[in-house]
Every structure is written in structure tokens, then in C-alpha cells.
Structure 1
């Protein structure tokens, strides 16, 4: 049986400003999962959150451990200096009205890109307790319920049950971005395995007031999934069944499914995600792609065993989990899907770490380089440049830190009309930026010359903790309001994030969502103030003052001050914080 596996490739980007202690609580993980999580490292993370139609999802909460940030109006997010385990990073994405999304990746050196697609949680059908019922999708996916359910407190529930049913087949174009976690799972003995997918479903049950429901004890449900058409000749008669543990981010083996005709059937005792997969021992793989001049190559496609294609990052690196004990093939292709490099690799030993490199050239690529100077003509030593293209989403935006004036991007371009770019430089020392430069690149190298950062940065959020140096957040700032809540955040090299009704304020290294702020669900008015209080966190007492909240296109002005308990140290320490913001309202 010829298996194909999805290599989960990690984009790398330099960005953001702050991080918090993000080390997961491994007590449960180590009990269920005999896996070496590796050392504690600091990494930067960025990416996008979209729906299944590719539309940006703004206001999604992206969490890596205790570090939390909001996506902006483009669905973009950025986290910097986040403490993670080197060999296992669990990323959670939440947004009201959608199924929770997630990803699991390896924190190889550099900065990591994460792209998650959220599935809208729309009701498929409504059933009534006390009667057996079957919910089906047109492709043959179905669930048969016995009729008994419990509420979040474990009490019997009676009434209408709203059922959301979603099926994800292995050949789905957006399988990688949609599936929760990764291919990594724990077998019945807790050993790490790589999973070959034969499809998965998600079932969400809610009651009349929106509360989450589960199956009652002794009332299992029968699930049925169709065999993917691309696997009809290789699908086995029996496949192990796995449920996704949303707390620790791994698949756990629970039973099996049997095949009759082109349908798999199994019994399950609870609902979230259920996955039909065959396990193999686990290994890890990283591939570094560079130009003939040994420069990291961004924006190329890497493919394992003819699976989905994902672009390399701005350091040219792709890293992820792969099956051990079997031969694999990887390809490198450009934006026009011209194969530039192919290589047979493996078999790899279980638990092994394997690294490869490839040097490629393509006419569908360009190097963009230049020099960033401050308004006095000196090289910028603390800044960044942001490169984007309206025709090629994989590099929107591609960000590079500037520490010595010079910068250089080696990136693939779109096959048609891909040489149009925009470039903006930021000087954080002097709070100034360049005008946005629109240009048409010419292969192989385009030098944009010297960029002068002389324009004042008109938007900012600043804060100071105790007697530490003040922090100024600049670049990619957003303030918006919708019926779903109020959001103010910075996605630049400094992080600030406030959201209501989720009641999260996070800035810098240590705030870690310790605040609960009382902003109204309605649009704020000037002069409104709220106080933060957490009952089990004595010392958290923050005042948030909205001084100006006008229509879209005007500035939002606010201040905040007070105390909070810094729980990133032991014992916890009470700290003081003061801050102010001047941000253009986007929505």
C-alpha cells in the first residue's frame, strides 16, 4: 500500500515584540504521550486566519500557551519572543461562530508561519431528545444518535439539540489548513505516531441557549464516513479511530472503524473531531532551500509524496512531522508549478531528526534589496521592512528586521503578474517610517536603493511596567468595533491586544491575559471607564479610559493604568502599568 503523508511546512518571519511564558503544562501530556518535547526556546510566530472560502477572519483569538493575540482586519497576527517547547508547539484559534482551529508544529530555529482555516459552525439540523435520529450530509457522511444528552455540568438535557456536522476528506484542497493539530498522535500505549488519514468528521452539539452538549453515558452514537475517491483502491477493511484532545493538541487512539462498500462505520462515546487513520512510527524532517548564491529562498512550494503544496518561508526552511520506516519523495516547485528539485529520502528511523538542503534557481523569482536609513542619513539599527504583493498571498507580508541598514529578500513570484510589490520601512528608534514604495521588480535582482525613514509614525500604543523602559508599539495597528465586540491591537514589532467581550488585554512580556476589562458591548463613548477585577487574582485592578471613539477613519484615543499580578514569576509579584494609545479606527 503506497502511503502519502502531509509534510506540515512552517513559514518563517521576523516580527512582533513581546512574549510571555508559553510553556505548556505537560503533566497530562506526559501521562498520555511518551514524547520528547525538547528544550525551552523563544520563537516568533505569525500567520493568517481565514474561513473555508479564503476570506480573512478578523478578531480571532490566537493562543500559544499563555500568549494571546487578535487577528487584524486582514486576518493577520504576530507574536514575538514566545517561550515554547522546541519539538512541540500547540497553537489554538478561537472565534465565535466557528469551530475552534489549531495547529501543531516544530519550533525549528527562526520564526514560524501558521495558516489556519476556520469552519463556520452553522447548524446542519435540529433534533429532539428522547428519540433516535440520524443526521446526514449529501456525500454519505452521517451520525445516528440514541436520543440522550447531557449539559456541561453532566446533567440530563431535554429539548432541541442543534447539530453541526462537517466532513473533511484527505484530498480536500485545504486539508492541511483545516485539520486540527497535525499528523502526530498517541497510540494506546502513548507512543508517538504519524497518522495517514482516511478522513475525519467534526460534530458539535448545542442546546436551546447555546450551551455545549455531549452524549449521555451509555448512549454512543454511530458515525459513518465515505471512502475518499482517491483512496478507493487502497482503503483497508478496518482503520484505527482517533479523537482529538483539544487540551493538549494530539490525536488519541480510541477504537476502530470497519468498511462496508465505500463507507466506514464506527461507534463513538463523545464528540469533537474523529479521525480515521493508520499509524506509523514518527520522525521529523526539515528542508532548507537556497539560491545558487546561498541565500534563503522564500515563496517556493515544497511537496511530500505528491501531497499538498505549501510555500517555503523567508529563511527558506520547511519543517514538520513525517512517517518513519518508509521511503519518501519531496519536490521543490516554483510559483508556476515548475519542478525545480526532486529527491528520494528515507526511510527514517523512528524518533529521528532529519535535515536536507536544496539549491535551486528559477526565472519566476526575484531578490529585492536595499538600505534603510534614518532621517539623519544613518543606517537604521532597530527597524524593519515589510514587503508585500497584491498578486501573491504567500508573502503578504514578508517582514525582515533591520539591524545594520541593509536588507535583502529572495522570494518567488506569482506566475502571472507577480512582479508588483509594495515596500515600507520602519525606524523604531526615532518612531519614523518611509513612504510606501510601489515598484515593479526585475529578475534576478532589484535594488530599491536607499529608503529614508523621515515620516512620523502617526499611530502608536505605548505603556510602561513598573520602572522598566517604556514600550512603544508601532506598525499594523488596528481599532475596530462590531456587534461581536471591540478590538484594539498592534501587529507590528510590539504587541498590544485588547478585546471585549473576551475581556483580554495583553501587552509586552508579562500581562498574559490577566485583565478583565469592563467595556460595553455597544460602541464605546468618550469618557467611558472600566475597572478590571479577577476574584482569584488579588491585585488586578486596572482602569481603562476611552477618551475618543469616533467614526471609521478617525482616531481612537485611550489611556489605561493600574496594578496586576505578574504570574509569570513565582511567587507572583504585583506590578503597575500605565499606557496610552492613538490608533486609527478601521471598522
Structure 2
């Protein structure tokens, strides 16, 4: 329970952000489930539930104090909820099948108008034997989860074995995904203070067995998570290999991020920046690499329609000078609101809808001053649905006219835009990737439509993204180090089938343990040759140890045996890197010299 005056001030500070923020209440931890013996308070509530790309989520559920309400076809809902009079805050949960649940901790006095954005689940991965040590890979951002053998347990604590489905969603911090950041990025740090976060990477993963039971890591077991870092700087802080980043997991029951552990920046050949974020975790939910975000700027925002101030739902995408950013979602009154904690330099991209979800507005502003968002009727309005060629409805995401993102549940949804000077709409959509035993596929389709009316996008093309063949990785070392980084640069060829391809993969695995991975190589009977140049790196006290092996098509074990004496100083970007000499030949890692 938060009771100190310092913590209360921090909560008040977060509330001044003007967002539907968690932590905007008193220090009470009152339960908000209805109780027959307790006097109840009735609150009239309106809510709007959208996807991360701003599309209405029909039939989304809003759960407050044990009571469930549903949104209409425009993603809006109006209802009366009963709350114990003694409650000072409630945790509001927003749910939609195929999307990551969102929850917000909200002061009872601010409960009248709510909004939330939800991110769609990006990929489902099938695991044949969850009891095996393996790397679970996503097709997005080179994200991966490395698990040891016998890592998971059932809800009753018994070991989990057999087939498991993993819903695996890496969040793109450089795109619209952050529009759906849980709790609006509000967190409780290790000292109990309410803080705001700016993300360097985020992964959501859930593990479900064939019986529908949710699995968790067993006591004493850990897993490693990693994903590419698309930016070299976060919150105007340059990131380097070895940089530490605090870790946070999302506590849906509390509607807050909770600080737990520390992650680090590692080298990644698959990343455009050459960097990835890595962490070791003891349980699964949504995990976030985050810095605390504190700035002194402020901006006033208000919505108007036909010059009349109106209440609205806003999404504010804040971009800092270095390209990193954060997003806030909120419902605001007609009077508008001042939002604090804005950066001194940067920009804000605003999108807004009125409380009916039918009027829209957009604006780009600086991070200070006054912002008036004009709401008007959309120029295009379509109900869009994706189906496979056999008529099966599926969730999909894509682009409209090459630039506007959309994401829709399998039931479809309304897409509104303010596009100007267009006479037709071009829709491109894909399903989430799906797997067979040996390959990963994705359905694709496109459609042309008018500016209004229903649109059905038939995903008639099944495109193979890649094959997957099982290999085993093993790093053996006499030195106790944290982990081993493996780079695999490979190619394959078949003259008869006119088949060829190449790949570049990287993995972070534990030492002295065989780990199963899937490489994008066709089955052995389909190719004439396979060649893999494999490199592995371990690090200790700023030094590096590297091994290189070559693997052909007759082996599926890639093993590295490190020598305790082969440590050297890696090149760190210093232009005064010395020339090789008899004295320094064993000191520096010469293969790291830039070309």
C-alpha cells in the first residue's frame, strides 16, 4: 500500500498527465468487486475501444468491478456500473479475442469517459514438445524466447509436456504498436514510486496447452527473451553493447507496470542498428525494456467540432529529437486539458475521435503551447472484413492506399480516414503467419473499393515465408559467462528444383546446454547442398572469445568449444585501432576490424 507523502505526490504528478492513467487515485488498495453487504455507487460510463491503428473493435469487452459490458459496431459503449462507495479506484480491463488485453487503474472520479487501444496478436507458434530446450522464434523483429528443458508447469504445478501453442507478439516501438501500450506506460518502480516509461522494446507471450490451460515457468526456471533494437538512442540516451535497461512486466490485475530486474543491449547482426535488447525472466506476461521518462514541458489540447468544444478520445504519439518516443491515449472533456511531462524538443502526432466514434481529426504539433484538434466527418468510411478463399473469416492487418495502417478482428470493423483527393481505395492485407510441420506461411490479398460501403478482402494467396529445419546449437566453455551469442550465415541450393536461398540468423543461448532451433532451410531431400558459416561469441569483463565453424548438409549439430585462453579486446569503434604487431597480436580481436 502506498502511504508516504513522496509516493502520493508521484501519483498526483502522473494524474496531471491528463491521460486515462493507472495510479490516478488515492493510496487506497480497496477491492472494487461488488459485495452485497456494502453500499454501492452507480456510475454512468462511456467507452471507446479501438485497435492500435485506430479501427473500431466491435463487441470488445469492458470489465469493471466484476461487471462486463460490450462495445457496439463502432467500438463504443455506454453503461451504468455499480462500485462500492468505499472504492477510491478501479482497474478497468479491455478485452477482444485476437488482441492483447489492456487494463487501466483509474480514479473513481475519472470513470465517466474511457478509451483504450488494443494491439492484435501478431503470431501463433506451434511447439511440439514444450519440455525440450529450444529457441522459439518470431518472424517479427528477430524476436526470440530461449527456454531450458522442462521449463514449464501446469496451473496445478505439475510438469508441462507435449504440444503447446505460443501467442507471440513483439511490439514495434518505431510504429503504431505503442498506441496500445498497456497502462499508458504508467508504472510502479522498485521503490514504490509511480513513474512514466519510454520503451526500448516489448514482448508479449502466452503459452497454452491442448487442454486450454495456461502454462508458466516452473519455480527456479528462467527464460531468455531478445528482440532487435530499431533505434540507437532511447530518450536521447545513446545505447551501446553492454548498456543496462531496467525491466518491467505488466500486472494486469493492478493496471500498472512493475519493475523487475535489468536487461542489457547486445550485439545483433540481424538488426539494422547492430543492436538487440536481451533479458532473463522468471515468468511470462508482457515484458518491457524501459527507461523512466521525466520532462518539464507541457501542452494544452482540446477538440472542437464546427468551432464548438466537444469531448473526445485522443491518441498522442510523442516523438523525441532522437526518433524514440512514447504514446498516450486518453478521453478528455470539452474543456480540454493540459498535459505535462512533455519533452522540450520533439513533435506530437495527434489523432482524435468524438465520443460517438464517427467524427475524426488529425494534427501535428510541437511539444508545448496550445493544440486545437478540429473534428469533422471522415472523407472515407468503410466496413472492412478479411476472408480466406473458402469463406473463413480471419483477422488481418495491412495498408490502405500504401500509407494508412489498419488492423481488424475476424468480424471485421469500420475504417475511417481523412484522405483527400482520392477517387478509389486500394486495400492490401495479410493474415497472421501460420505454421505447418516444416514451413511458415501467410495469406495475402488485395481489393479495390469506393470511398464508402462494405469491403471484403479475399486473402487468396498463400505465401511461404520460409521452411524450418531443426538444428541443435551447443556452446561449451570452461569460463562461467552469462550467455553465448551465435551468428549463422547460411545458404542452400538445388539444381534440379531450381531452388536457392540464403539467411542470416542470430541466437542467444545458455552455455553447455544443447538448444533446438529452426533454420529457414528446406528439407534435406529438396536441396543438393547446404552451407553454414557459424560464429559464436562469449564476453567477460569487456573481453571477447570467438569461435568459427563450418557446417555442411550432413550435420545438424553446430558446436563451439571455447578455449579459456582465447580472450581478446573487441573493436569498439575506435578509429585509432592499432596496427598488428608482435606485441599486440594476442591482445586484440583482429577479425573485428572494419572493412
* Range into which the TM-score falls when normalised by the shorter chain: 0.3 to 0.5
Query: TM-score with structure 2 length normalisation?
Result: 0.47
Q: TM-score, normalised by structure 1?
A: 0.47
